[in-house]
Amino acid sequence: MLVFKFGGASVQDAEGLRRLLRLVQTYGGDSLWIVVSAMGKTTNLLENVVQAVRDDRWPEAMEFWGQIREAHLERIRPLRLESGPMSSSPECPDLEQVLDTWMNRLLEELHALRGSQLSYNCFYDQVVGYGELLSTALVSAYFEQNKWGHRWVDARDLLVTDATWRDARIQWDVTVQRIQEVQSQSLRNQKGVTCVLTQGFIGRDGVSGRSTTLGREGSDFTASVIAHALHARELWVWKDVDGVMDADPRLFPMARLLPTLSYLEAVEMTYYGATVIHPKTIQPLQNKGIPLRVRSFLHPEAPGTLIGGTDNTDQRHSCVIVKKNQGLLELVSKDFSFISEEGLSMIYRALYEQGLKANLARHTAVSFSLVVDNDRYKLQPVRDALSPFFEIHLTEGLSLWTLMHQSDKMRRGLLSGKQWLFEQHLNDIYQYVVVE
Ligand code: ADP
Ligand code: ASP
Ligand code: MG
């Protein structure tokens, strides 16, 4: 059996939905799970809805709600026209009706949550997962229009998590059991295929029953959890690039495809910020030796990248990873005391509580410098928590360049004309805090 994952870019328009069905029919084999993210940039719009409701700007929240509806309507309009009036029947729901059912559920949820005492992060999780619910409901209706038998499953009934809102941790035993139950209950369709369709990114807190999310870009991880639970033959993630390249092709048009990568290399690349795969994706696959294929939905005939197998230290691939929009946070203890373990743990706790990570860190006797994602909503509470103890200075407009397994000459070439504040290296991984 195979697991396919389709991200936001693959379902951003009507052609994306048509293509998804073709790929499923052509490459899906006879037992397939399909994990789909929210369409296009829906999750960002839902984040705007959350912010507006929390700030008591209801009319603005409704404007964003309207934009989400309109964007989906535009995606499905060509599909409705092509399937004709006969397509709407109790067995085959009209795509616009499906859209409105889910948009109204979202609206009801917003009304119910408005004025509630929930924490911001918990509130966020009750709302943003609607992007995935909407997209899979529409894909499901489109499958029905095209008589592609499948079963739609609410991923919140499968992925049981803790209550770490916005970064929920999977409770593995019960999650694996539920996924296996669905697999064993699923029936073959007319073409002899068992096909299950579900959402990425969302789960449910096993205690409160509230919706949770796995962290932004977390749908790759959902697909990996499912592949792990079912001992899948392979997981294929369909992307808008030819596979994993030695640099982000959006930033480096000359980037080259890496046809194979070991699990360890993939873990390292994602850890340092290669956004092509979510960092949590690799481990559940590696535990079971399940290969991960990164393939292009635009050139499906191309082989893409195959991730798997053990690491060969002599054959490490060189690559470049650029994390943009970074800030350098410099902390000097107010009484000039040494930076102690206690001070460090306070700093790391403040970051952890905001879901921030030290992308690079170094300390001297009395100062500590951290490179972090420059997200002002998250950094302000960090500064508030630490300012009684430290003088804090933030330098903005930076990016963090990680050059892995490159020769001196390659590094010099890449950095020519660049200015950087400082560098660090460990073995042959070099990092530079570059002024943008
Ligand atoms: P999805 O639609 O599945 O969420 P993403 O947009 O998250 O897909 O990931 C694909 C994007 O990752 C590409 O468009 C590309 O710009 C970016 N990317 C970053 N680093 C790399 C890399 N090393 N190789 C390929 N793509 C990369
Ligand atoms: N829709 C979610 C996001 O945009 C999850 C994902 O795309 O993987 O972050
Ligand atoms: Mg993504």
How does pLDDT run across 366-379, given as a tens digit for each residue? 889 999 999 988 89
Tally helices (H) and strands (E) across the chain.
13, 17
Q: What would the two tokens of residue 286 be?
A: 């590696």
C-alpha span between 168 and 165 (Å, rounded)? 6
CA of 43 to the centre of ligand 2 (A): 6
Low-confidence residues of the chain, pLDDT below 50?
none
If 0-12 CB within 10 Å is exposed, 13-18 middle and 19+ buried, where does residue 242 land? buried
Ligand nearest to the CA of 9: 1
Q: Is 7 in the pocket of ligand 1 (CB under 6 A)?
A: yes
Q: Render pLDDT for 289-345 as a digit per residue (tens, 0 to 9).
A: 999 999 999 999 999 999 998 777 667 889 999 999 999 999 998 887 777 888 899
Residue 80's nearest CA partner among 93, 68, 94 is 94
Q: At a CB cut-off of 8 Å and minimum separation 6, what does 78 contact?
A: 14
CB distance 384 to 371 below 8 Å: no
pLDDT at 89: 62
Lookup result for tokens 């969302």: 202
**Domains of the chain: which residue ranges?**
2-240, 319-435
CATH superfamily of 2-240: Acetylglutamate kinase-like (3.40.1160.10)
Q: Is 308 in the pocket of ligand 2 (CB under 6 A)?
A: no
pLDDT value for 83: 60
- Token output for 19: 């293509």
* pTM check: above 0.85: yes
* Ligand 1 close to Cβ of residue 217 (< 6 A): yes
Q: Which atom of ligand 2 is least distant from the CA of 38?
A: 1
Burial of 391-407, coded b for 16+ CB within 10 Å and e otherwise, reads eeeebeebbbbbbbbbe
Q: Which fold has domain 319-435?
A: VC0802-like (3.30.2130)
Protein residues placing their CB within 5 Å of the ion ligand 3:
7, 217
- With a 6 Å cutoff on the Cβ, whether 281 touches ligand 2 is no
